[in-house]
Amino acid sequence: MAVVLYVVGLALAALAVRIYLLGSKKALVNWIANSSIFYYMYKRQLAAHHASPDFNVTSFETTILDGAATVVTIPFLQDNFAYILFDHATGECAAVDVADPQVVLNVWRALVAHRSPPSHPLTLKYILTTHKHFDHAGGNRKLKAALTSATIVGGVLDSVQGSTKQTWHGDKLKVGSLTVETLAVPCHTMGHVAYYGTVLLYFLPFHISCDTVLSCVVSATNHTGHGCVFTGDTLSQYDIKDTSCKVVLYGVVVFVAGTGRFFEGNGDQVRSILHDNSYDMHRNLSQVLGALPPTTRVFCGHEYTLQNLSFALFVEPDNVAVQTKVLLLRVGLPTVPSTLADELATNPFMRINEPTVAK
């Protein structure tokens, strides 16, 4: 009985802290979004999608990173993206935000079947999760059960499903020749992280440094390559119905030309909690993601590009870069990956110091 009371007391204390930090409304929304009931509803949504006649279980696109690595983009549901990153030299892989395990497994099996050379078969080393929401973390356990070699990685401040390794800003993992660095971008959730990777390519008499994971960039002596960074819901969405610019600028991480909704944080709350103004959305966009090389490839968590560009045009109707991107989108060119240079030119949330946005 004492143990039960102790556990209940801890749960109530955790709830009280969450209400204090988030406010009662956000705490309620957060509790519902991460409850077993909501997870059940999410699995029902996946099952209904799989049963639809237009369901494609092997749809994916690939992005080659300077011949050293490949990022496989896997669409699922209406607008989600999962990713598989693999190192060419060793076959070691990391999967990102695998919320639909059936789709990811089908793509994985197709990749394994066509792997060349067979001397280095693909091996899933990590399941990387940007944050705890079920449309990003909901497939972790099933994928881990099917591919038992994988370690599930999630932010230390998020209760990521099945997580066996916690990570935070500056932590690094090795995926073959790739180095994957965790970037803390709390806001959409307090424990939200992005993953940024680099690989060294040696070409005598100089070497090239390439960044890989959600945004990829390659750099070398007097040479620029391409790396990648996976941003989850940091760069990807906003709610047009809730966009006073001041609120939205601190309410999201990054999607193509947009950011992610501010579910758990806001700049003032986070600063007061941590006594440090470095952990707010402005920091995420300008000091963390915005500091990456401009050639970095950006792989976001959702496909909201058309809506985001419509908002960007509303904010900056004379922005030629936004106008050009809208035209390219209308002729059917892929929107993912973007590049950091594209985001700096078109994403109003990364252009808040521009007079045309700040007006």
Active site residues: 131, 133, 135-136, 188, 233, 302
Helix (H, G, I), strand (E, B) or coil at 149: coil
Question: Measured between alpha carbons, how far is 42 from 35 in angstroms, rounded to an integer?
Answer: 11
Question: Measured between alpha carbons, how far is 145 from 123 in angstroms, rounded to an integer?
Answer: 14
Q: Which of 204, 334, 311, 320 is nearest to 259 (CA)?
A: 311
> DSSP label at 150?
P
Element (H, E) at 28: helix 24-33
Which residues are paired to 168 by β-bridges? none
Give the length of the chain: 359
- For the chain, count helices (H), then strands (E): 13, 17
Q: DSSP states of 157-200 as a string?
A: TS--TT--EEE-TT-EEEETTEEEEEEE--SSSTT-EEEEEEEE
Question: Measured between alpha carbons, how far is 213 from 83 in angstroms, rounded to an integer?
Answer: 9
Residue 71 near residue 87 (C-beta atoms within 8 A)? no
Question: Measured between alpha carbons, how far is 284 from 292 in angstroms, rounded to an integer?
Answer: 11
Tokens of 194: 């992005």
Which residues are paired to 155 by β-bridges? 167
Which residues are paired to 200 by β-bridges? 209
Question: Measured between alpha carbons, how far is 122 from 112 in angstroms, rounded to an integer?
Answer: 6
Question: Measured between alpha carbons, how far is 217 from 210 in angstroms, rounded to an integer?
Answer: 5
Helix (H, G, I), strand (E, B) or coil at 210: strand
